[in-house]
Each structure stands twice: as structure tokens, then as C-alpha cells.
A = this chain, B = another copy of it.
Amino acid sequence: MISVAEAEKRIAAAFSPIDTEIMDIAHLAGRVLAEDAVAADDQPPYPVSAMDGFAVQMADGAAPRRLIGSAPAGHPFAGTVGPGEAVRIFTGGIVPQGADAIVIQENAAADGVMVSFEASACAPHHIRAAGMDFKKGDLLAPQGKRLTARDCALLAAADIARAKVRRRPRIAIISIGDELSRPGEERKPGGIVASSGYGLYPMIQAWGGAPCDYGILPDTQAEIATLADVEGDMIVTMGGASVGDHDLVRQALGTVDFALEFWKVAVRPGKPLIFGKLGKTPLLGLPGNPVSTLVCAVLFVKPAIAAMLGMPHETQVLTAKLAGDVPANGVRQNYMRAKLVRRDGEVWAEAFATQDSSMLSVLARADALIVRPPQAPAAKAGERVDVIPLDGY
């Protein structure tokens, strides 16, 4: 039995960044850059007005100016603003040659020929200098970054029409169990409905992967051995525990080209977790209890996908105060399902009373997992603990 940290390290080490593809700016959100995004030009490309008003020379003070033209955004004024002259300008308009200040329109009186204002209204700070947002050569987003909507707006502003990103890793997911049927299908005698895959599939999407649902395999060596034909960058099985935790999967894979890396992890919920390579394809066998399946997916599938995407992966761990006492922990690192409550500017984590690994209703209501290290002593309400938020999935 190996530790969670050791398992995560060995899983991440089994993956390297996969191949890339070129994607249009309209489809970059959520994708992971395979190269740095660098500005090819200054933004703004020229000094522009931050306000609607008049472009003038500061040195003239309060003297009335003669209006010689206008400079709306997209229609630069071709001439030069000299002493005693002004150009009508609008937000985003290029500041004409010669002008070094903007008088905002609320502070000016114009009659179509002349414009006048107080000397104090004439200030240079309504001009956005060329390169104020970013300069040519600036790093806009580094390789390995998963692009947000805001990053996409920034890249568009830098005239980046397409970028090289990692292909979405294809993750084949397969449920194993004689007892399983799909939702809406006729239930098997004594059977239950396969559920974990319907959570794992959108989780993989949320983490940047492309899931492929290979359905349900029965508990026979011959059927499980067909996993060798599955295509993908990674195979994730769920369950196969009906004749002993994962023994069947291990035995079935033993008949094909499977190199076992490890198969027990000191994790709760979980433990019977299998990892190895089926031919050249990494295979992760998750336990079958749905809460174990999905918690272990957070712990081990997410970093595997991150490694394939070339992302610097760190499990997002925050701290919170315990809302109630929790008992001493056993030998396995325990991930307790909990609500997060914000009170007095603090985040409190309240563990659910029932932590059974079959209870999806509890996992669905949880906001976070409280991390309890192996052999951790009992902890009192108010003590600080690490929590993994379950945001977005």
C-alpha cells in the first residue's frame, strides 16, 4: 500500500505532454497553451484618448482654441495640433501629432469654431500612452496555462488569431460489473444502475480532457481482457470488485500485455486502486463505490490529465476551520465530504455525519473534501484543516 502523494507522483510521471493542434481564437477558452503567447505589438498601438473631449497643447493654458478637425476612434486626424488649436476627440481616438493633453467635454464650451475651458481642466492624464496595456515582446500568457475567457480577450487584443494548444487527451472510461445497467434500461435481477461514469464524464471535460464512454463490461476475464482494444491516451475503469476488490481486473489484465505499477493506495474512500500500462496506454482502475470512484478521480485522474496538457499541476488546497470535532484518523489518508460555510470572514468546513463511500447524495451536497492525513489525531472544532474545494464539478 503506497501513500496518496507517492501514487500521485507515480501517476503524473507516467504521462508527458501530448501532441498539439492549432486553434482559432474563437475556440481557445479552456484550452492549454503549448507555447508562450507573446505580444507582437504595443497595445494601444498609438497614444489614444481615454475620454470624449478635445486634444490640445498644455502650454497654451486657458487661451481659447480654434477647432481644426476631429478624431473619432478609427478615423485619425491627419494633421498636427499647433498652438491655439484643438481637435475634437473621442474615447479610443488617436491623439493627433502635437497634442499633449485632453480636455474632457464636460469641462469645455465649444461653438463649432472655438473651444474654451479653465487652465486647470487641461491635463495630460487622459491620454493612454502607446503600450500602456502591454508592450511588444510582453508575455501575455505562458505555455501550460489554461486560458480563461479574459485571457482570450487579451490575446485577441494582441491580434493573436490562433494559437498552438495541447490536443484534449482522450480518456476512455469503462464501468465493470455484472450488476450494472444504464439509467432507463431494464434493471438486472438484484442489480443497480451504473452511476459513476455519468459523473466522471463531465469531470473529465471540466478538467480539459475528451472522455469516450465505452459503456459497461461484465465481470468476466474474457470481457475485461477486451480493454486491450480500447483506444485513447488513458483508460479509466470503474469497479470490477464483485469478486474481490479489483482482483478480477488484475487477473484479466494479466492475460494481456499489462505492466502493473501499483494497486493499493492508502486512501479513503478508495484503496483498491490499480495503475499500470496496458500496452503503451496508461490504465487507472478506480474503485467501484461511486464516492470512491469520483474522489479518487479528483485525486488521480485530474493530475494525469494536467500532465498530458503540460500544465503545472498542483491540487488546489485551501485551509478552513473545522465547524465540529472530527475523530482520529486511521492509516489511510481520508478525504471527508464537507460543507463550506462563510461566517465572520472565515471559511468553516463542516464534515457530513455520514461518510459512507456509497453515498452519492452526500458527495453531491459537498462543497469540499477535508484532508485528514494518516494517523492524524482527533481534531477539535475551530482547528484549521486543509480542504480541497469541489468547485465547478
Contact = CB atoms under 8 A, between A and B. Distances in A.
A215 to B, nearest CB: 11
Given A133-B360, A150-B390, A358-B128, A183 B160 contact: yes
Interface stretch (A237-245, A252-260, A277-285, A371-379): A237-245
B44 A156 contact: no
A193 B356 contact: no
A245 B91 contact: yes
- For chain A, give the interface size range: 35 or more
A364 B141 contact: yes
Interface in A60-89: 72-76
A137 to B, nearest CB: 13
A205 interface: yes
Given A150-B360, A179-B73, A193-B156, A92 B242 contact: yes
B177 A73 contact: yes
A52 interface: yes
Nearest to A390: B150
A219 interface: yes
Contacts of A149: 199-203, 206, 294, 393
User: Which residue, A153, A321, A357, A359, has most C-beta atoms of chain B within 10 A?
Assistant: A153
A152 B132 CA distance: 46
Interface string A138-160: 10110000001111111111111
Nearest to A150: B364
A140 to B, nearest CB: 7
Nearest to A363: B150
A294 B178 contact: no
Nearest to A46: B190
